[in-house]
Chain A
């Protein structure tokens, strides 16, 4: 009896979502209030996407949803139902780093690495919008992300280098 009641509750309180993450279709039953960042990390085990605040300020949780950069802590997983998501884990192809990843490595664009996936995803979107940014445009384009370690100089340099690489 108790078991039946629990099942009923579950049926009532859980919803199913499906989305394509890094090209792989996935679906799960989740609490409706599950944030996308928690869905990616805890349900799918994609822990490359981080979180660093509760207010949409730090950008550590940035992923690409249907071609746009979004802060996955500000979105319920159910809002991403049917969406295509790219996370940091989906950037390298066939063991080949994405030029943005390479550029972060070559230019010492990271220290503790915690903000890095968010910055790389934001840069990915930024360079799609504007393949030829100036330093000013890069600085403004990543101003929704916070890095406490690098002082930004090498992140900016990395993104400018990546822009060059991607033109080749």
Chain B
């Protein structure tokens, strides 16, 4: 592959000029003439029967146009579908009404919707709707929900168990028989609130003369939303256009289909007027999906030299009150498949019990299953090292899959495409000066200071994915990606991609791919995304898939264009096709570079299509549509190391140093790669130290505002040292792997390992996250350190 200056360059982002001047266009910026505003009436109870809804008072409020209850929309808007129906797990998919009909099952469950002339009037009226509830006992903890006598959310889901899923590879029994040491540990991977700074929302506009319904919405995957909203509302798919304009962050929360957006579409059609709905932050926290929430038990079999023989995991995954779009697949496949991590573990067994509770639905949040798996491994390997008196660095080195073993199939199933775990690991340790830090730590301890060093090595699965692979897991559609690359007569290029970046910068990196492949200036390339009216089809942006899959599709489309262009060039140059070479945007005859024709001229010829322009019988035009279905997933990896200090008086943890070495294969734009890593690290640190979605036992969300949910600010985190190694993916057309989630996956265990390391000499073996000051202070108090 030719290496040009553009691929791999730190090109400034092309999306920025509009965003730094206030010209970004987000869903709430869409304003249409005659637009109405919707507000949802949401349940204040975690579990209750709806006895009646009285809208009389609300209707009288000035500006109110109409009010619909769950009964009114029943049969008109179909239940929210679950799109990842995992097989062999006795999966139960209970009815998920867009507006609750008989029962509410979590605080925030929508009961009715109000439409008014102004947003303020809509909210006034929503508050004035009187709903009579008969409260029922609620259950929020997933283990308690499965116990005898627990409140039952559904008549047809006994013990609230939505599924039982198992995965086994290798001989687990033998591993435990041969073990010289067995370690067991309970771990909690607590619930998080994704917190995209832009909340969810939608604007819908119906044209009765054409039957077309256009929606602008906060979506990571407009085509999937079109497909599912079409199914829910009965608006035919070809008459429904979903536009996701600029999207203010998603982190998974804008993948899923929710009842609210479908109701907004329904309202626009019923009223024949545009309708807008935007969540406020509280609503976002109550009713947009949450992430993680595992209660885990892990057992590990090992030899005394630190070699891990087998691992056994049992997890209770909290799914919330309804099965969200991808909910069953996240704590099962995306979790269980990665339970060998970067290590040569020969036997693995995983059991996941998916449980419904009176809480907000839980689904994919940045990392989605992989952080939960990595956390288990990286905690347990540290605990094992401690037990064996080994250094946490040494035990990892002992267990890494060696660089010459790839492609490598793990006991859990996946075939890792490529890797050099030791190299990234050593680079990270070198950058943080590991040996020196250990020395410093020893000295600090003598002075009564609490310093800790935490290592976290990971490998993750992304580039979702080969369609046959994901279909076998019960995912509703294949996960290929499509693109149309169109070369215009002047040689300018429009790229229509099914990926839908919303912060990841692919308007820039995709243009870099095209500029490299076609040898044209980057300014001649436009990337169009996020509109079902323009793009063939798209699976969207999540799971770190956009660069490997959508980017791969674009590279392949460019190569097909070059094939055709080469034929045209050969014809123009009157040379044999095999003798025509392509470099830096020009076709030339091998051996006589003065006989050349630029791709722009070829493009013009392809449209002119006359004698001497394109070969007889060839179709005119120069464009290619590609549906790229990858042959395997991609497996980025790396090692992060953190140094923390605990204030012995307050229990406050401070991150002093942080080194991240990630390998995401070839990098198109290292500046953007770094940015993804930075953001991911902070989200992962936030889980380790501060953020926690908290319900009281009655199912009230205690963290329903940004005052209560502890998202870190710039003052809470340090600057990071980031570096990378480059191990290309052998099967990806560009050798890229994806980097959107690596930071989040790696950083949480790095921090927890560091904090436990700081307390290790006091006999502390494990502390559950988040490691907030009050929790650490209590431990220090018990140990007589804090006063």
Question: A111 to B505, Cβ gap below 8 A?
Answer: yes
Chain A residues whose C-beta falls within 8 Å of the C-beta of B683 in the assembled complex: 148, 151
Select which of B12, B19, B31 is within 8 A of A113 by beta carbon. B19
In the bound complex, what is the Cα–Cα distance between A114 and B245 (angstroms)? 12
Contact A89 B21 (CB under 8 A): yes
Q: Is the CB of A52 within 8 A of B198?
A: yes
Distance of A167 from chain B, by nearest CB (Å):
21
Query: Which B residues between 243 and 258 are near A, CB-CB below 8 angstroms?
Result: 246-249, 251
Cα–Cα distance between A155 and B682 once the two chains are bound (Å)? 13
Given A49, A57, A97, A147, which contacts B707 in the complex, CB threshold below 8 Å? A57
Residues of A within 8 A of B25 (CB): 47
User: Given A45-B31, A91-B21: A113 and B503 within 8 A (CB)?
Assistant: yes
In the complex the two chains form, is A114's CB within 8 Å of B197's CB? yes
Once the chains bind, are B714 and A57 in contact (CB under 8 Å)?
no
* Chain B residues in 8 Å Cβ range of A113: 15-16, 18-20, 24, 246, 248, 503
A104 CA / B675 CA spacing, docked (Å) = 13
Known contacts A47-B28, A108-B13; A145/B713 CB under 8 A: yes
Assembled-state Cα–Cα distance A144/B671 (Å): 26
Determine if B524 is an interface residue (Cβ-Cβ < 8 Å).
no
Instruction: Name the contact of A114 in the complex, choosing from B20, B26, B251 (C-beta under 8 A).
Output: B26
* Size bracket of the A interface: 35 or more
Chain A residues with CB under 8 A of B282 = 54
Tell me the minimal C-beta distance from A149 to chain B in angstroms: 5
Q: Do residues A110 and B16 form an inter-chain contact, with CB atoms below 8 A?
A: yes
Closest Cβ neighbor of B671 among chain A residues: A108
On whether the beta carbons of B21 and A88 are closer than 8 Å, the reply is: yes
Q: How far is the CB of B173 from chain A (nearest CB, A)?
A: 44
CB within 8 Å for A148 and B22 given contacts A9-B62, A57-B706, A112-B246 = no
Find chain B residues with CB under 8 A from A52 CB: 197-199, 248, 281, 706
Interface class of chain B by DSSP:
loop
The verdict on B195 contacting chain A, using a C-beta distance below 8 Å, is yes
Q: B678 to A55, Cβ gap below 8 A?
A: no
User: In the bound complex, do residue A115 and residue B120 qualify as a contact, i.e. CB atoms below 8 Å apart?
Assistant: no
Q: How far is the CA of A142 from the CA of B715 in the complex (A)?
A: 8
Interface contact B711-A146, CB-CB below 8 Å? yes
Is residue B157 within 8 Å, beta carbon to beta carbon, of the partner chain? no
Contact of A112 among B198, B281, B678, B717 (CB under 8 A): B198
- What does the 1/0 interface line of A40-72 toward B look like (CB < 8 Å)? 011001111110111101101000000000000
Supposing A50-B26, A105-B12 touch, asked if A140 and B20 sit within 8 A by C-beta, the answer is no
A77 near B: Cβ within 8 Å?
no
A142 and B249 in contact, given A46-B22, A151-B720 (Cβ under 8 angstroms): no
Instruction: Fill in one digit per residue for B167-203: 1 if any A CB lies within 8 Å of its CB, else 0.
Output: 0000000000000000000000000000111110000
| A149 touching B21 in the complex, CB below 8 Å, given contacts A111-B503, A135-B719 | no
Q: List B residues 12-69 near A (Cβ within 8 Å).
A: 12-13, 15-26, 28-29, 31, 62
Pair A111/B679 contact, Cβ less than 8 Å: yes
Nearest CB of chain A from residue B503's CB, rounded to whole Å: 3
Q: How far is the CA of A112 from the CA of B675 in the complex (A)?
A: 11
B505 / chain A contacts, CB cutoff of 8 Å? 111
Asked, given contacts A105-B17, A148-B711, A152-B717, whether A31 binds B678 with beta carbons under 8 Å apart, the answer is: no
Alpha-carbon distance between A117 and B248 when the two chains are bound, in angstroms: 12
B715, closest chain A residue (CB): A143
Q: Are B22 and A151 in contact (CB under 8 A)?
A: no
Task: Determine whether B79 belongs to the interface, using a CB cutoff of 8 Å to chain A.
Answer: no
Asked whether, in the complex, the Cβ of A89 is within 8 Å of the Cβ of B197, the reply is no
Please pick, from B120, B705, B715, the residue contacting A140 in the complex, using a CB distance under 8 A.
B715
Please indicate the chain A residues that have their CB under 8 angstroms from the CB of B502 in the complex.
Answer: 112
C-alpha spacing A3/B752, complex, angstroms: 66
A59 to chain B, nearest CB (A): 9
Interface pair A149/B679, CB less than 8 Å apart: yes
Tell yes or no: A21 within 8 A of B by CB. Answer: no
Residues 13-50 (chain A) with a chain B CB within 8 angstroms: 31, 33-34, 38, 41-42, 45-50
Determine which of A34, A97, A138 lies in contact with B21 in the assembled complex, contact meaning CB atoms within 8 Å: A97
Please give the distance in Å from A69's CB to the nearest CB on chain B.
15
Most buried by A among B26, B197, B251, B707: B197
B681 part of interface (Cβ distance < 8 Å): yes
Asked if A127 is at the interface (CB within 8 A of a chain B CB), the reply is no
Q: In whole angstroms, what is the CA distance A17 to B583 when docked?
A: 63
A residues near B26, Cβ cutoff 8 Å = 47, 50, 114
Contact check, A138 vs B714: say whether CB atoms are below 8 A apart.
yes
Report how far A101 CA is from B21 CA in the complex, Å. Answer: 8
Q: Is the CB of B719 within 8 A of A156?
A: yes
Q: Mark B437-465, 1 if CB is under 8 A from A, else 0.
A: 00000000000000000000000000000
Q: Is B280 an interface residue, CB under 8 A from the partner? A: yes
Q: Quick check: A104 and B20 within 8 Å, CB to CB?
A: yes
- Taking a contact as CB atoms under 8 Å apart, the answer to whether A114 and B16 are in contact is no
Interface residues in A104-133 by Cβ distance below 8 A to B read 104-106, 108, 110-117, 120
Complex-state Cα separation, A114 to B247, whole angstroms = 8
Cα of A92 to Cα of B713 in the assembled complex, Å: 27
For B195, the closest partner residue in chain A by CB is A148
Q: Which residues of B contact A60 (CB under 8 A)?
A: 197
A153 contacts the other chain (CB 8 A): yes
CA distance A44 to B285 in the complex (A): 29
- B31 close to A53 (CB less than 8 A): no
Which of A49, A101, A140, A144 is most buried by chain B, counting CB atoms within 10 A of its CB?
A101
- Candidates A58, A138, A147, A150; contact of B706 at CB < 8 Å: A58
CB atoms of B503 and A53 under 8 A apart: no
Residues of B within 8 A of A106 (CB): 12
Pick from B16, B118, B282 the residue with the most CB of A within 10 Å: B16
**Is B728 part of the contact surface with A, judged by Cβ < 8 Å?**
no
Q: Given A50-B198, A111-B675, are A151 and B717 also a contact pair (CB < 8 Å)? A: yes
Other-chain residue from A33, A89, A97, A142 in contact with B714 (beta carbon distance below 8 A): A142
**CB atoms of A47 and B719 under 8 A apart:** no
Smallest beta-carbon distance A8→chain B, Å:
13
* Shortest Cβ gap from A91 to chain B (Å): 7
Measured in the bound complex, the distance between the Cα atoms of B27 and A41 in whole Å is: 13
Chain B residue contacts of A152, Cβ below 8 A = 678, 682, 713-714, 717
Q: Counting chain B CB atoms within 10 Å of each CB, which of A110, A113, A144 scores highest? A: A113
Contacts of B251 in A (CB 8 A): 148
* Partner of A49 from B22, B714, B719, B743 at Cβ < 8 Å: B22
- Complex Cα distance, B717 from A22, in Å, reads 34
Asked if B307 is an interface residue, CB under 8 A from chain A, the answer is no
List of 4 A-B pairs having minimum Cβ-Cβ separation, nearest first: A48-B22, A114-B248, A113-B19, A112-B503
Sample of 5 A–B contacts (CB below 8 Å): A111-B679, A114-B26, A146-B713, A148-B249, A150-B679
Known A104-B16, A112-B198, A152-B717; 16 more pairs at CB < 8 Å? A31-B120, A45-B31, A48-B23, A52-B706, A53-B705, A58-B281, A97-B20, A113-B15, A113-B19, A115-B197, A117-B20, A139-B715, A148-B249, A151-B677, A152-B714, A153-B719
